[in-house]
Structure 1
Amino acid sequence: MSFIGQNMLENIDSRLQQAYPQSAHLSFAGISMILVGDLGQLPLVNDRPAYASNRRAKLLWEEFKIVVTLDKIFRQDGENIQQQRFHQLLTNLRDVNPQIDDWKLLMMRTPTNIDVARGSVNIAEDFSTGELDLELLISKNSRVMLTSNLWIQAGLVNGALGYVRKIVYKPGSAPPDPPTYVMVEFDNYSGLPFEDHHPNTIPITTNQKGRTLQLPLRLAWALTIHKSQGLTLPKVTIDIGPRERTRLTFVALSRVKSLEGLRIMPPFTYDRYEKMKKGRQLAKRKAEENRLKLLEDN
């Protein structure tokens, strides 16, 4: 729900009223709606939160009056002392309550204090435009990310990670021609196996985007923090950038499963860490979370 801003919410409402004209006088044409998510995640890009809107979107948002909070932690599971400490650190971040002891703990995860973690994914602050790449430089064993929702139920979703195992061309064809397909071994594929002896390896074919024929893959040895939202990673090296942006630090640090799998590079000052309290939309978000908590309590 953190990705559904005023424009999208109004568009959903409008489209449902077009689809069900007999109920067009009702919000969402009377269709039952469920929103799932966390207002503590990254904010919208090029849109405003519906709860902070001065348009119809705010009224639509306030139609949701049944609130249920799920508070069991799954990504950072485990109850040992170190995991409990990590849970508290992430809770403080999510609630925008930075503590100097938390910062000191994070600084213990810098390269000068730990051995270099191998096989980790780098997560960096970046606000690229998301335009199509002019070329895709991949080879066997490249770490790649899927950029389209091909089969949601089986885990082939935008953001799924894997390794290139084979690049197949039709006879007589070679780079820079597009391949017929690329065999990718995905980390979390759960559909029917394409090959019995490699159940997670699936062929990915080219698709058409406008007049461009392109593979829905991108190199993923490193990810932006925005692209990492929703992922669970065993090991990460994180660069949160020189200045705080709304909820950036929380989302970046909460992608990793444990403190042992986390490395911070480069280190950052406590002043940088504390600046998250100065987010422009923080007061409005806190007020909305308090309103939702009252609805839940009632």
Structure 2
Amino acid sequence: MRLVAKVKIEHTDLGGSFVKPQSAKDVEVALEHCERGGGVVLSVGLKPRPLVLPVAPPVALYGSRVHEGQLGLKFMRVKANPWDTASKCIQLSISGADPEALTLLRDRVNRVLLKHAGVGSGGSGSGGAGAPASGKPGVKPGLKQNRRPLAPRSLNTMGGAAGGPAPSSSGWGGGSVISLRSGPGGGVGPAASGFSLGAAAGSRAALASSAESSAAAVGGGEDLAALSDEQQRALQLVQSGRSIFFTGCAGTGKSLLLRHILRVLPRDTTFVTGTTGLAACHLGGTTINSFAGIGRAEGSLEALMRSAARGESLQRWRATTHLIIDEVSMMDGRLFDALEHVARKVRGSNAPFGGIQLILSGDFHQLPPVAKGKDAASQRKFCFEAESWARCVHECCFLSKVFRQADNEFVEMLARIRSGDCPRDKLSHLLRTCQRPLPVEDGILPTKLYTHREDVDALNAQQLRALPGEARRFVAQDAGSPDVLAAACPARRTLDLKVGAQVMLIRNISHRQGLVNGARGVVERFSESQNLPVVRFASGKVLTIGRERWTVASGGRLAAQRVQLPLDLAWATTVHKSQGMTLDRAEVSLEKAFEPGMAYVALSRVKSLDGLRILGSIAPQALRADAKVVAFYRKLRERQLAALGLDPAQFKTIY
């Protein structure tokens, strides 16, 4: 395939010396088979001599702005010219290209790299990972899945294996990173599809060099919005070495702040984790349990110590300087204390958390730690109740500026629902106002938010069946553990679509264009060249959606990877899954709500009351706020105001 674009090429030798960049306009870029020796090459038609780059690991690929006609590729360890005596790193930036042609180029490069990685490329149509097959829902085409274990990944989600094996003879670090980014609600690196496939190839050289590939992915790509003053203060605290917990209402930019923080931390010794598989997958990281090497965290403290002090778990603990835990509000305080004890023991340090700087994020007013058993909810212990919390967390920052909603009255009402003290008359007014049908002028129906998964699946299946024509089935290209993918990856194993299907993005693709996690649209057609869905979004943008890649780590190894469309059916989704999303319109059903925080999470997904409809009543427990959480935020507010020399009694800000 060929396209014409503006290109910029930067050469760097392996020692890091910079070579003058080269730029040119109206250059032909072609992906073609090499006549000598086989393989696939990317030919860049420079004058007087074209640049020919082999498409083989290790390669980093940045695709977050492909819909704007921009794509970046970084080729590690290549000899671009006959006179080159040593390998170089070459970064190719393509801009001003046709977005659909660029999407096709990106996807074909992905498929070539997957083949090098030893992952099968079954399917039909255009072939390759996730290629669609026509047929009825429930009929699986003959795509053979590769179930082999994946090669070891680095000790770190951010970079090479710091503190791990000695460098190889090539001079590269001993670790590997498969992906820096995985999805909706934020990411480690700039590229929605950025990844390195060196490790999956299985060779020692590939494992070593892909660490550099991952580091490249962190450095550029996605444009991030500027930080507010309070966000900037939190970032400065992190840079000063303070362990920090930053929190705030829904829509206050916690994910944005986290992405800025990731850009300033050392890549080799920063580990990114989440309390749930879904939160971890969004960041391209691992669950905190997996990082710690403690499995399901069952058994005595001594048993957890023995598990954490083995092999790669021990290496991770000792290599870590910075530990990020997203959605820490869903972690039980007893587990936090156990992790703090393990950190001190395995690192041989009596400093809080063994001397690791903590960056914690979450909102205790949203979904709480999972409670098991009949009386477990009453025994729930929040992280801030942990004995070690006060000595481990030096600073707590509350982000007060809400970016998602502009209506001050709506913001205040959400804040009162969040804290569990919304007056009955205001709640009655909200129910009366929001029980009318929402307009459907653009053909995109409001997404229904349910508290139970079975209600979501039933409605989505029913609505898809009601559409005319045959469904096109997109089958993911998977490798590794199916159970891990089922539990942690937001992308489905199989996705059935038809023209007219209501869909939503499940990862950030382009913040500039509003193509973020939760952006909704309708499938208008399927592209002729690749049979990919062409989606018209609520913003009016019409785009061809290509495949993206997710990775899930477990115990310091790449446990699974999935290549699939970043879409899900959007007639309905669960309240739990909607956490972190921004929806333009939603119909919320909370009659079956079963825990505190559910009403706040569901109602705060929309930007304004104009986009909200409440179906039926709201279960009382969904409107409750835990008294311990209310007290925690009240004290946090008082401390922050006192630090500014202000009297808390003079302010009515609701936390």
For 1:140-188, what per-residue CA distance to the aligned partner results, in whole angstroms no more than 9, with x for missing partners?
Answer: 34222345x5869888776554443544699xxxxxxxx8754556678
Shift of the 137–202 alpha-carbon distance from structure 1 to 2, 3 Å rule, reads closer
Give the equivalent residue in structure 2 for 1:258.
Answer: 608
For 1:233-268, what per-residue CA distance to the aligned partner results, in whole angstroms no more than 9, with x for missing partners?
Answer: 2222111124452100111111111122211112x1
**Are residue 145 (structure 1) and residue 504 (structure 2) matched?**
yes
| CA shift for structure 1 position 93 | 0.4
**Are residue 203 (structure 1) and residue 553 (structure 2) matched?**
no
Between 1:199-208 and 1:25-34, the stretch displaced more is 199-208
SS at match of 1:108: helix
**Are residue 37 (structure 1) and residue 401 (structure 2) matched?**
no
Give the equivalent residue in structure 1 for 2:422.
Answer: 98
Give the equivalent residue in structure 2 for 1:66.
Answer: 395
Letter in 2 for 1:288: F
| CA shift for structure 1 position 136 | 2.9
| CA shift for structure 1 position 92 | 1.0
Letter in 2 for 1:70: L
SS at match of 1:33: strand
For 1:134 and 1:169, the matched residues in 2 are separated by 23
Letter in 1 for 2:319: A
For 2:570 and 2:538, the matched residues in 1 are separated by 13
SS at match of 1:164: strand
For 2:544 and 2:528, the matched residues in 1 are separated by 17
Q: 1:17, 1:24 within 8 Å by CA — same for their partners in 2?
A: no
Normalising by the residue count of structure 1, what TM-score does the alignment of the two structures yield? 0.66
Shift of the 243–295 alpha-carbon distance from structure 1 to 2, 3 Å rule, reads same
- Residue of 57, 71, 76 corresponding to 2:405: 76
Give the equivalent residue in structure 1 for 2:587.
Answer: 237
Q: 2:449, 2:574 within 8 Å by CA — same for their partners in 1?
A: yes
For 1:96-116, what per-residue CA distance to the aligned partner results, in whole angstroms no more than 9, with x for missing partners?
Answer: 1131112211222354xx354
Letter in 2 for 1:202: I
Shift of the 44–145 alpha-carbon distance from structure 1 to 2, 3 Å rule, reads farther
SS at match of 1:34: strand
Alignment of 1:175-186 (within 5 A): 181-184=532-535
For 1:151 and 1:29, the matched residues in 2 are separated by 37
Q: 2:414, 2:604 within 8 Å by CA — same for their partners in 1?
A: yes
Shift of the 275–232 alpha-carbon distance from structure 1 to 2, 3 Å rule, reads closer
For 1:189-236, what per-residue CA distance to the aligned partner results, in whole angstroms no more than 9, with x for missing partners?
Answer: xxxxxxxxx785331268899699865532112121111111222222
Give the equivalent residue in structure 2 for 1:288.
Answer: 632
Normalising by the residue count of structure 2, what TM-score does the alignment of the two structures yield? 0.34
CA RMSD of aligned residues (A): 4.3
Shift of the 4–153 alpha-carbon distance from structure 1 to 2, 3 Å rule, reads farther
Q: Which fold has the larger relative contact order, with Cα–Cα distance below 8 Å and residues 6 or more apart in sequence?
A: 1
| CA shift for structure 1 position 284 | 2.9
Shift of the 244–10 alpha-carbon distance from structure 1 to 2, 3 Å rule, reads closer
Shift of the 164–62 alpha-carbon distance from structure 1 to 2, 3 Å rule, reads farther
Q: 2:585, 2:611 within 8 Å by CA — same for their partners in 1?
A: yes
Unaligned runs of 5+ in 2: 1-245, 248-273, 277-286, 293-307, 322-345, 373-380, 458-485, 552-558, 644-655
| CA shift for structure 1 position 289 | 2.6
Shift of the 137–89 alpha-carbon distance from structure 1 to 2, 3 Å rule, reads same
Give the equivalent residue in structure 1 for 2:384.
Answer: 51
SS at match of 2:504: strand
| CA shift for structure 1 position 94 | 0.8
Q: 1:247, 1:276 within 8 Å by CA — same for their partners in 2?
A: yes
Unaligned runs of 5+ in 1: 78-82, 171-178, 189-197
Q: 2:578, 2:602 within 8 Å by CA — same for their partners in 1?
A: yes
SS at match of 2:605: coil
Name the structure with the higher strand share. Answer: 2
Q: 1:20, 1:29 within 8 Å by CA — same for their partners in 2?
A: no
For 2:508 and 2:606, the matched residues in 1 are separated by 25
Shift of the 69–212 alpha-carbon distance from structure 1 to 2, 3 Å rule, reads closer
SS at match of 2:412: helix
SS at match of 1:73: coil
For 1:5-35, what per-residue CA distance to the aligned partner results, in whole angstroms no more than 9, with x for missing partners?
Answer: 8xx6576567652324996524455443332
Letter in 2 for 1:117: P
Give the equivalent residue in structure 1 for 2:448.
Answer: 122
For 1:46 and 1:31, the matched residues in 2 are separated by 28
Shift of the 46–73 alpha-carbon distance from structure 1 to 2, 3 Å rule, reads same
Between 1:235-244 and 1:28-37, the stretch displaced more is 28-37
Shift of the 200–228 alpha-carbon distance from structure 1 to 2, 3 Å rule, reads same
For 1:75 and 1:204, the matched residues in 2 are separated by 28
Give the equivalent residue in structure 2 for 1:219.
Answer: 569
